């Protein structure tokens, strides 16, 4: 183990012990509400770079450190040029070791598989955390992240499903409270744009052949906790990681948080009891199916009936829509397909919500709901408040004690665990029966073991200790 890594391990364990009480870092918690938040940004390319600039553009933070495993990649240069004098690191552990007393919060915009160790180290050192969606790669990692957040209740957490601070959030909340959205029994959630792996051969028998590691990339740090390790391949990095079971959560983990989030929170869905794989075209052991249909079954809750959510992805895997659904032109506010090609989907990413009396049509991110047909024409719809802050400002204001985050780990964690269960069903291409009380899969021993997953690789075990 290198000297830096051993120092990082000792720092992590020391601070984990110190932070049995949030009072260990009172200065971080009792900031003057007029101050700016000192922010360290970990992952500054692609979506991580967008997060850095979005946080900075709120005017509520100082960018005091930048960290990325590839400081020479084209996708990191814009951020580096914007902040030429800010200290730079390739290893997040060195960042915490050398500058841990100079910032109060971190943004984490790295591949799914690396969310967990960085978040756990940040919380152990008394840092507020903004981490991209989904929270982590495995059910168990999300469970530990929620536990760490509960252990340090004065630390602010926010998952980066940005629509959770826009119009759809406030509309769904107001309509639910007013009784407009009630007695929901089913929801269709769909994302039918082309994905990066759709041009790949699903008859794959092994991982792609090793390639030369770019001179500016630290491949060892990039792999994080993942075990077993893989040789470098260009199809593992720069967004391609989302394609692979070992690194990302596919279309469901990518878009589910932008489509299912408000229904999951305000209908108080929690965790499902069954996950049924209804379709898995091109299933293989390495990357995600070309098309997936996954049914999540949720039990009755309080005064709400049992409910199913059926997820559809794949260009030709179009869900059924009501006869009065209306037009399906692409929404210019929805991001383009991740492969960069202009290839319109046949249906906007979005949702259809079926209740006893009404059917609602909605999009993704902050898109608002509409009521289909004439059934709701005589309803008195409540006023929907405007958002007082976007998702980034909400996080920073929460760090300063001015607001509460709208997607803290207590809310975002169970949603992320829904995705991890769906991914397990995709990986094994089978039905899963889940016990919500014990949080165990009861019908498949292998799947139950995969809730935790393989042991972390040597030198990264400390992040699994709270």
2: confidence class by pLDDT, cuts 50, 70, 90: low
Q: CA-CA distance, 40 to 376, in Å (whole number)?
A: 48
The strand ranges marked E within 68-180 are 88-89, 105-108, 128-132, 157-160
Render pLDDT for 32-43 as a digit per residue (tens, 0 to 9).
445 899 999 999
Q: Write out pLDDT tens, residues 402-441.
A: 999 999 999 999 999 999 999 999 999 999 999 999 999 9
Query: How confident is the model over 447-454, as a mean pLDDT?
Result: 95
- What number is the average pLDDT over the span 191-196? 94
CATH of the domain at 42: 3.40.50.720
pLDDT value at position 9? 55
Asked if 118 and 231 sit in the same domain, the reply is no
Q: Give domain status of residue 463, yes or no.
A: no
Query: Does some domain include residue 455?
Result: no
pLDDT-derived band of residue 222, with 50, 70 and 90 as boundaries? very high
Task: Work out the percent of the chain whose per-residue pLDDT is above 90.
Answer: 83
For residue 133, the 8-state DSSP code is S
Q: Are residues 155 and 210 in the same domain?
A: no
Is residue 457 domain-resident? no
Share of the chain above pLDDT 70, in %: 88
Is residue 390 assigned to a domain?
Answer: no
Residue 364 DSSP code: S
Question: For residue 30, what pLDDT is reported?
Answer: 37
pLDDT at 328: 55
Mean pLDDT across the stretch 164-182?
97
Query: What pLDDT does residue 325 have?
Result: 85
For residues 46-70, give the mean pLDDT: 98
What mean pLDDT do residues 263-286 have?
Answer: 98
In a domain, 461, yes or no: no
Instruction: With a cut of 50, say whether residue 240 has pLDDT above it.
Output: yes
Q: What is the pLDDT of residues 7-35, one digit of tens each?
A: 555 555 555 444 433 333 333 333 444 58
Q: How confident is the model at residue 352 (pLDDT cuts 50, 70, 90)?
A: very high
- Residue pair 296/418 in contact (Cβ under 8 Å)? The answer is yes
- Greater confidence (329 vs 108) lies with 108
Average pLDDT, the chain: 91
**What whole-number distance in Å separates Cα of residue 115 and Cα of residue 253?**
13
Whether 132 and 196 map to the same domain: the answer is no
pLDDT reported for residue 454: 87
Residues 306 and 441 in one domain: yes
Claim to verify: residue 195 and residue 160 sit in the same structural domain: no
Domain span at 233:
167-385+418-450
Residues 430 and 399 in one domain: no
Looking at the structure, tell me whether residues 123 and 185 fall in a common domain: no
Does the pLDDT at position 442 exceed 70? yes
Q: What is the pLDDT of residue 330?
A: 46
Q: What is the per-residue pLDDT for 324?
A: 85
Whether residues 294 and 336 fall in one domain: yes
CATH of the domain at 226: 3.30.360
448 touches 440 (CB < 8 A): yes
Listed in order, strand segments (DSSP E) in 68-215 are: 88-89, 105-108, 128-132, 157-160, 184-191
Question: In total, how many domains does the chain have?
Answer: 2
321-339 burial: b if 16+ Cβ within 10 Å, else e: beeeeeeeeeeeebeebbe
Same structural domain, 172 and 142: no
Q: Is there a single domain that holds both residue 135 and residue 191?
A: no
* 118 in the same domain as 252: no
Residue 336 inside a domain? The answer is: yes
The average pLDDT across 65-91 equals 96
How far is residue 47's CA from residue 109's CA, in Å, rounded to a whole number? 6
One DSSP character per residue, 210-251 reads P-PPPTTB-HHHHHTT-SS-----GGGSTTGGGGBTTT--HH
Sort strands 184-191 and 350-355 into parallel, antiparallel or unpaired.
Answer: antiparallel
pLDDT of 347:
77
Q: What local confidence, expressed as pLDDT, does residue 343 receive?
A: 43
Quick one: CA torsion of 370, 340, 314, 330, rounded to 10 degrees?
A: 20
460 lies in a domain?
Answer: no
pLDDT for the residue 363: 92
Asked if residue 177 belongs to a domain, the reply is yes
The sign of the CA dihedral 195, 196, 199, 205 is negative
pLDDT, mean of residues 185-203: 96
Residues 441, 370, single domain; the answer is: yes
| The pLDDT value given to residue 198 | 97
């Amino acid at each position: 183990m290198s000297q830096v890594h051993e120092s990082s391990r000792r720092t992590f364990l020391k601070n984990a012990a110190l932070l049995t009480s949030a009072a260990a870092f009172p200065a971080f918690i009792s900031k003057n509400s007029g101050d700016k938040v000192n922010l360290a940004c970990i992952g500054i390319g692609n979506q991580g770079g967008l997060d850095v600039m979005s946080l900075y553009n709120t005017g509520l933070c100082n960018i005091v450190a930048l960290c990325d495993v590839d400081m020479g990649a084209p996708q990191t240069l814009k951020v580096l040029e914007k902040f030429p004098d800010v200290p730079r690191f390739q290893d997040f552990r060195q960042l915490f070791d050398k500058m841990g007393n100079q910032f109060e919060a971190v943004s984490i915009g790295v591949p799914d598989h690396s969310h967990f160790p960085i978040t756990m180290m940040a919380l152990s050192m008394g840092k507020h955390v903004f981490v991209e969606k989904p929270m982590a790669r495995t059910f168990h990692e999300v469970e530990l992240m929620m536990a760490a957040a509960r252990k340090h209740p004065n630390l602010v957490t926010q998952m980066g499903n940005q629509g959770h601070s826009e119009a759809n959030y406030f509309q769904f909340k107001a309509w639910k409270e007013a009784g407009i959205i009630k007695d929901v029994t089913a929801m269709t959630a769909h994302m039918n744009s082309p994905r990066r792996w759709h041009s790949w051969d699903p008859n794959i028998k092994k991982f792609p052949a090793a390639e030369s590691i770019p001179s500016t990339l630290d491949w060892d740090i990039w792999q994080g906790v993942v075990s077993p390790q893989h040789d470098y391949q260009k199809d593992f990095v720069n967004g391609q990681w989302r394609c692979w079971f070992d690194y990302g959560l596919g279309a469901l983990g990518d878009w589910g948080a932008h489509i299912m989030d408000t229904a999951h929170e305000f209908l108080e869905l929690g965790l499902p009891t069954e996950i049924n794989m209804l379709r898995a075209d091109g299933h293989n052991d390495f990357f995600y199916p070309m098309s997936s249909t996954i049914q999540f079954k949720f039990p009755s809750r309080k005064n709400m009936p049992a409910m199913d959510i059926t997820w559809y992805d794949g260009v030709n895997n179009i869900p059924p829509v009501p006869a009065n659904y209306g037009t399906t032109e692409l929404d210019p506010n929805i991001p383009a397909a991740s492969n960069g090609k202009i290839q319109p989907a046949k249906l906007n990413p979005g949702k259809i919500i079926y209740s006893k009396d009404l059917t609602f049509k909605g999009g993704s991110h902050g898109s608002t709901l509409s009521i289909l047909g004439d059934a709701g024409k005589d309803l008195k719809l409540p006023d929907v408040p405007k958002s007082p802050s976007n998702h980034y400002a909400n996080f920073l204001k929460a760090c300063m004690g001015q607001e509460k985050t709208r997607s803290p780990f207590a809310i975002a964690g169970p949603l992320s665990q829904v995705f991890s269960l769906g991914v397990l069903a995709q990986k094994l291409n089978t039905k899963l029966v889940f016990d919500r009380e014990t949080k165990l899969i009861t019908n498949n021993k292998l799947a139950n073991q995969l809730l935790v997953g393989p042991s972390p690789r040597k030198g990264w075990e400390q992040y699994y200790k709270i």
